[in-house]
Structure 1
Amino acid sequence: MDDPFFSLGQEINRTVHKVLDARSLEDLGTTIRDTVQRTTQKVSEGAKRASEDVRRAAENARAGTAESPSEVDASAGAGQDTQAPPYSYYRAPAPSYAPPAYHAYRPKAGTPGQAGSILLIVFGFLGAIPLAVLALIFWVIGLMGSLSFWAVPAAILTVLALAFVVMILCGFSRRRRIQRYAQYQAVIAGRSFCEVAELAAATGRDAGFVVKDLTKMVQARLFPEGYFNPEKTCFMLDYATFQQYLQAQERQRREAEEKRRRKQQLDADPELAAIQQMMQEGNDYLTKIREIKAALSEADAVQKLDTLADVVGKIFVYVEKHPEKLPQIRKFLCYYLPTTLKLAEAYRDLDEHDAAEGVEESKREIREALNKINLAFGQLLSNLMQDDLLDLSADIAALETMFAQEGLTGRTLRPEK
């Protein structure tokens, strides 16, 4: 028979018998048979376990979960293909602070790639072990007989076995990545963003590894979308959150620019700086007065503090519009207002100890003092506005004179007393 495969088979059979019949190698055949039997048994058991894992994974995928004895529960969205946003997950700008809690991120049920990783491992073992055993046999036969004849098929079998080993390694690599993906999802817990440091702490990895890992997961569509800030400190899972983040960054940039511009203005204009400082102090005093008022229960005291806050606010507003009046309220700022605030705070403290002896008398004295202070501050406001009032009177008198000269009115513009 001229069949080359038949001739090759006969040659293998003769060589194997020749080797096995040698006394120096009488145990080689037994060793090889035992090895093949044990290997075949392990492959059978591994295939059985792997097929059981595949069956459970398929059932869990249909049920909307992904549970297996060696897997951590995870859920992630397969996601639908959308047009890539203008910023990729490599270039997304980032917050210098932790972003606010945006809307919840809801991954779809199931773990992408879980069944595929199991199949890679199963078929890798099914291919690698038999090929490796055959390659070993061929190499042994070649070494015992004609190496030049057996080297080529042994090398081919070795390369094929290594290819299946690579398949096994890829399967285990994907399986570990899916396990980390489940850990990431557990930490993210439905949020649409997460700090990289938080994920690194949960997985026991450094931040650089987590960034690369998340990037690969986005490329593999485990996460349908993913965006990093430039510092790679925050991971955002959808484009809507990324847009909100960009808007927050833009607001922060505008606020910083406005602060810088106002600082330049204040540095260039000392009078404006003094007015701004006065307004800041005034707002602080008004805030404290309102806080004290909110803590009081007596209507009379509350009404007096209402009047006080109203008059003080009008003084500050007027001086803000008329900066030249600022020197006239220096004593008001440096002494009168701080002293008034101390009285109000003392009244609040006394109000908390209403049952103590002498408290009512002290509270009455403070209320009377607040009456006098309100009158004094009202007079201060009138004094500040005196020039404007005189100007108004002069304008009214001038109009009356002009109307009288033109015969336009026989009555004055001033109301009769």
Structure 2
Amino acid sequence: MRGLFGNDWNWIVAGLVSAVLLIGLSFLTHFPFLVSVVIAALVFAGLVFVLAPRQLFEGLDLSSIGGSRVAFARELLAQAQPAADRLAATARTIPDKDMAAKVKNLSDIAADVITRVEAKPESAPAVRRFLTYYLPQAAEVSEGYAALANRRAPSQARLTNVGAVITKLQDAFVHYADSLADSELGTLDVDLRLIQESLKEDIGR
């Protein structure tokens, strides 16, 4: 059922809960079997929808955005999300608190960029390199650091080298997050100038 009202997990969970409910109603509370089946079926249908994962661009009016732009953003986000999830998971496995915080910061920035692109698909080209290169590379490097750090006798020299790369990656992440914000504010200066000209014309100020 993958792709129809979510992935397989919402169907599996809904089926298990409904089966348990059917057994409980029929044999423990002695509900009429037919009534129990109807109740279990309604619960199953409800859980399938409730547990279905949110879809990309859900709630957005995509009619004003070109189909190619939406498809491009969808492809980028589909590639980027697993790397962002890996970053978040890796941050929890790093014993050094300072480095764990840095990886967590990378994860937070990645999540913010992904959220912004999802809210405004046409902004995807501005962060294409971030989503397709820096984000997966950051996940790879962070996982490498975690693997080194969790050894019984980790090499401090290697940890220092990998940690330095993670620190530099923070600069790249901030750069792309800010460039995305700048692209969203691209018309602000023009809007302000037009407002000022209108105010000067209308009220002399």
Asked if TM exceeds 0.5, the reply is: yes
Q: Gapped runs of 5+ residues in structure 2? A: 1-13
Distance in 1 (alpha carbons) for counterparts of 2:25 and 2:189:
71
Whether the aligned pair in 1 keeps the contact of 2:123 and 2:183 (CA below 8 Å) is no
Structure 1 residues 320-350: Cα deviation after superposition (integer angstroms, max 9, x where no partner) = 2333332343333332222111110011101
TM-aligned CA deviation for residue 399 of structure 1 = 3.1
Native 8 Å contact 2:80 2:132 kept in 1? no
Q: What is the aligned partner in structure 1 of residue 142 from structure 2?
A: 344
The gaps in structure 1 that reach 5 residues or longer are 1-95, 108-189, 193-222, 228-238, 409-417
Q: Is the 8 A contact 1:271 1:323 kept in 2?
A: yes
Contact 1:296–1:348, Cα closer than 8 Å, also in 2: yes
- Aligned-partner Cα distance in 2 for 1:310–1:253: 28
1:297 equivalent to 2:112? Answer no
Residues 76, 132 of structure 2: 8 Å contact kept: no
SS of residue matched to 1:247: helix
Which whole-Å CA distance do the structure 2 matches of 1:106 and 1:240 have between them? 6
For residues 183 and 137 of structure 2, what CA distance do their matches in structure 1 show? 28
The two structures have a TM-score, normalised by structure 1, of 0.37
TM-score by length of 2: 0.68
**In the alignment, what sits opposite 2:74?**
276
Partner of 1:225: 32
Aligned-partner residue type, residue 136 of structure 2: P
RCO greater where, 1 or 2, for CA within 8 Å and sep 6 or more?
Answer: 2
Residue 398 (structure 1) aligns with: 194
Structure 1 contact 304–370 (Cα < 8 Å) conserved: yes
- Residue by residue over 1:86-107, the C-alpha shift from the partner in whole angstroms, topping out at 9 and shown as x without a partner, is xxxxxxxxxx945342387489
Aligned: 1:366 with 2:162:
yes
Change (3 A) 1:360 1:402: same
Aligned to 2:4: none
Is the CA contact 1:354–1:360 (under 8 Å) kept in the aligned structure 2? no
Distance 2:187 2:160 in 1: 41
**What corresponds to 2:9 in structure 1?**
none
Q: Distance in 2 between matches of 1:281 and 1:271?
A: 16
Measured after TM superposition, the shift of residue 311 of structure 1 is 1.6
Q: In proportion to residue count, which structure has more helix?
A: 2
Cα deviation code 1:261-286 (max 9, x no counterpart)? x9xx9xx9454333333333333222
Q: Deviations over 1:35-74 (max 9, x none)?
A: xxxxxxxxxxxxxxxxxxxxxxxxxxxxxxxxxxxxxxxx
Contact 1:293 1:305 (8 Å CA) reproduced: yes
Distance (Å, rounded) in 2 between the aligned partners of 1:105 and 1:395: 63
Indicate the residue corresponding to 2:20 in structure 1.
Answer: 101
Letter of the 1:316 counterpart: I
Does the 8 A contact of 1:103 with 1:191 survive in 2? no
Instruction: Report if aligned partners of 2:106, 2:170 keep a CA contact under 8 Å in 1.
Output: yes
Partner Cα distance (1:105, 1:330) in 2: 52
Q: Does the CA-based 8 Å contact 2:94-2:149 persist in structure 1?
A: yes
Q: Which letter does structure 2 place at the counterpart of 1:102? A: L
Q: Does 1:382 align with 2:189?
A: no
CA distance, structure 2, for counterparts of residue 240 and residue 373 of structure 1: 57
SS in 1 for 2:20: coil
CA–CA distance in 1 between the matches of 2:31 and 2:181? Answer: 66
Residue identity opposite 1:286 in structure 2: A
Q: CA deviation at 1:304?
A: 0.6
The question of 1:248 aligning with 2:37 is answered no
Equivalent pair of 1:282/1:313 in contact (CA under 8 Å):
no
Amino acid at match of 2:169: I
Instruction: For 1:15-30, list aligned pairs within 5 A.
Output: none
Separation in 1 of the partners of 2:126 and 2:22? 53
| Larger Rg computed on CA atoms | 1
Counterpart mapping for 1:13-52 below 5 A: none
The offset of 1:312, in angstroms, is 1.3
CA contact (8 A) 1:347 1:366 kept: yes
C-alpha offsets along residues 188-207 of structure 1, whole Å, 9 cap, x if unaligned? Answer: xx567xxxxxxxxxxxxxxx
